[in-house]
Amino acid sequence: RYSRADIQRQRQALPAYKVREQFLKVVRENQVVVVIGETGSGKTTQLPQFLYGEGYKERGLIGITQPRRVAAVSVAQRVSEEMNVKLGEEVGFSIRFEDRSSSKTRIKFMTDGILLRETLQDEDLDKYSCIIMDEAHERSLNTDILIGLFKKLLARRRDLKLIVTSATLNADKFSSFFGNAEQFIIPGRTYPVDIMFSSVPVMDYVEEAVKQVLRVHLSAENKGDILVFMTGQEDIEVTCSQIEEELDNLRKLDETIKPLQVLPIYSTLPADLQARIFERSEYRKCIVATNIAETSLTVDGIGFVIDTGLMKLKVYNARLSMESLQITPISLAQANQRAGRAGRTGPGTCYRLYTLTAAQTEMLPEPIPEIQRTNLENTILLLKSLKVKDLSRFPFLDRPSIESISTAQYQLWSEGALDNFGDLTLLGERMSRFPIEPTLSKFLILSTLDRFHCSKEVVTIVAMLSIPPIFVRPNNDMGLQKKSDSSREKFQVAESDHLTLLNIYDQFMSHGRNEKWCQHNFLQHKSLRRASEIREQLVQIMKNNKLDLTVQDCEDWNLIRECVCAAFFLNGASFKKYGQYQHLRSGLEMALHPTSALYGMGDLPKYVVYHEVILSGRVQHMNYVSTVKGEWLIEYGGVFYSKRVRGVSSKEHQ
């Protein structure tokens, strides 16, 4: 751990620290300031403290938004340490389903999604004196919408200060959006970074990254920690264990080889494990990260960056109205940002696991803002409840395509959230109250109807669908993998993954939330505990909105499946051939996910509905599937299905 004196010394060495007075002056004289500074210059950790010291805390909260949950938590922790206060008191954070702030809180870190939801309760954000929209260059959907809302809000609240922080990229765009807002540049210092491209295309980026890590580590003169940019959790876990395994073997042969502290970091990693990347280590560190480490989190002392050139990106196909995570090339701007991580404390080296030609031909200059590649249902629902009537007049920083707006509106109309005039229905109004995706909130609301009367169970399923995967599947050990698979099978309810989730949760509760029991059954104890916290919060929101929670257990679980169908009918699919289904509306082929309860069943049902689609390689997998009856699809899907489900193929129908 670091001592208090260490922390103060680190603070004072930050570029932001040196320009404190100038910064405060610019904020005093302007309502909106765009702050530009290198990653690691102290924007996120220092600016809020400057405002705090200057007395803004007396006028209201100092709020800082982050596009990523990980960053909100980690930075709040750091700032509370720097200020020597308890986290949750003067310095707190709030992310979805987890609020660590109190009446004492003056500096509040939160995700941009949380602030956006707060505008539903308090249109003018009266309790804030300053808002820092951090990492605005990331152009997350929620940040973009907030920026649009601020345009009017700032005119209503002349006393509110808005500070937008951005990497150089996009800074001018923000300035001109707010009528040539003042820019404040934090002068930074960076060291040169040598960039090495791969000379041939890389076949297996995990394998190549592992090799490169070892090459760097074994060349004795190389000082500095290593940062690897990987795609996502799975790849990160495999990379980490392969590095450890291969280094172990090498060290058996040569005892002079030093150990390496291998540390993963991704958004769903538990907070205590995340914090380890900042801790001091006796040995060289090798951090294997998602693009979290591009700008949100800065680790000092990185001398080597190994860049796969890839990231996982949520991609939305408006034509099929389908969202999926895909591994895609990063943009050139991101590649430079990644390389820059090696030159913060001294000259560094960046190894790119792609060729120069690939960079020139396959990478876009800049990333596409999320608003132009995502499902807008949630956003539109929210804007409608904020009484934004005409979306074509909303001040978007970058406009989403007409197609994606109309698809989302159509989708919301199909779900009964909008009426024929495009206004919110009562159902839509209620749906917007829940901080979850629209179909899930609809699922919850439907379950309270007399017809289904199973909200007690459905709220559990919704909570279980909102947590990271619950099954532990050891990476390296075939024997343990088998055991974990057969443990999963024990919980399966043959006709439905939704009911399987319910079953697991019920058993978890009846075993007194016991951690040993979870370990024994290869279940993530932390995730299940999280599900029960989320469940409580959902129950609270239901109460606040006068939605009844059933008291008695639902006797007939078929009713729950029928309710799944009523909520997810747009995700209906029909049996094609073994293991293969066909999405009813688009005709697209989809496979059962290998972890599904239906996978490996003798007779597969004719119709199913699914929760979401995951793309693995070229295959679309349906994730969380329930068996449904054709007549249910007709009943709840109405105009969408009556013909198709009765046997007219989708081809003829087009």
Binding interface with ligand ADP (CB under 6 A): 14, 37, 39-46, 74-75, 77-78, 278, 298-300
* Contact partner, 621, from Mg ion, ligand ADP, none, Cβ < 5-8 Å per class: none
Residues that bind Mg ion (rule: CB under 5 A) add up to a total of 2
DSSP conformation class of 371: G
Smaller CB distance to Mg ion: residue 78 or 456? 78
Q: Does 119 bind Mg ion (CB under 5 A)?
A: no
Residue owning tokens 């049902």 = 605
Q: Which among 38-46, 55-63, 80-88, 229-237 is the span making contact with Mg ion, rule CB under 5 A?
A: 38-46
SS3 346: coil
Q: 432, 385 in Cβ contact below 8 A?
A: yes
Among ligand ADP, Mg ion, none, what does residue 605 contact (CB within 5–8 Å per kind)?
Answer: none
The verdict on 231 binding Mg ion (CB under 5 A) reads: no
Burial tier of 611 (Cβ tally within 10 Å: 0-12, 13-18, 19+): buried
Of the pair 190, 558, the CB lying nearest ligand ADP is at: 190
- Reading the block at residue 489, the tokens are 């099978």
CA distances (Å), 395 to each of 259, 498, 575, in order?
54, 40, 45
Q: Which does 298 bind (CB under 5 to 8 A by kind): ligand ADP, Mg ion, none?
A: ligand ADP
Smallest separation (angstroms) from Mg ion to the CB of 37:
9
Length of the chain, in residues: 654
Residue 107's contacts (CB-CB under 8 Å, 6 or more residues apart) are 48, 49, 52, 57, 61, 62, 64, 79, 90, 91, 92
49 binds Mg ion, rule: CB under 5 A: no
Nearer to Mg ion, 134 or 415 (CB): 134
Query: If binding is defined by CB under 5 A, does position 41 make contact with Mg ion?
Result: no
CA dist 595 and 610 (Å) reads 13
Which of ligand ADP, Mg ion, none sits in contact with 212, Cβ below 5 to 8 A by type? Answer: none
The Cα 335–Cα 353 span in angstroms is 11
628 bridge partner residues? 607
Minimum CB–partner distance for residue 296 and Mg ion (Å): 6
Residue showing tokens 């309502």: 31
Q: How far is the CB of 299 from ligand ADP (least distance, A)?
A: 6
Binding status of residue 375 toward Mg ion by CB under 5 A: no
Which CB, 300 or 553, lies closer to ligand ADP? Answer: 300
Q: Which is nearer to Mg ion, 43 or 139 (CB)?
A: 43
For ligand ADP, the closer of residues 329 and 340 by Cβ is: 340
Name which of 100 and 430 has its Cβ closer to ligand ADP.
100
Least distance to ligand ADP, CB of residue 334, Å: 15
Please give the structure tokens belonging to residue 70.
Answer: 């990980």
Among 365, 482, 340, CA closest to 38: 340
Would you count residue 45 as binding Mg ion (CB under 5 A)?
no
Shortest Å, Cβ 551 to ligand ADP: 45
Minimum CB distance to ligand ADP smaller for 302 or for 566: 302
Distance of CA 630 to the CA centre of its chain: 35
Q: For residues 590 and 582, is the Cβ–Cβ distance under 8 A?
A: yes
Backbone angles phi, psi at 212, to 5 degrees: -65, -40
We find the least distance from the C-beta atom of residue 134 to ligand ADP, in angstroms, to be 7
- Minimum CB separation from ligand ADP for residue 331, in Å? 19
Shortest Cβ 188–ligand ADP spacing (Å): 9
Give the residue among 55, 141, 34, 51 at the shortest CA–CA distance from 408.
141
Compute the least distance from the CB of residue 263 to ligand ADP, in Å. 13
Selection from Mg ion, ligand ADP, none that 40 binds (CB < 5 to 8 A by kind) is: ligand ADP
Nearest CB to Mg ion, comparing residues 137 and 498:
137
Q: Out of 33, 35, 38, 44, which residue is the one contacting Mg ion (CB under 5 A)? A: 44
DSSP one-letter string for 251-296: HHH-TTSPPEEEEEE-TTS-HHHHGGGGS--SSEEEEEE-THHHHT
Partner whose footprint covers residue 143, from Mg ion, ligand ADP, none (CB < 5 to 8 Å by kind): none
Residue 233, CA atoms < 13 Å, CB-side half-sphere? 11
Least Å from the CB of residue 300 to ligand ADP: 4
In sequence order, what are the residues at sequence separation of 6 or more whose Cβ sits closer than 8 angstroms to the Cβ of residue 251? Answer: 257, 259
Residues in contact with Mg ion by the rule CB under 5 A = 43-44
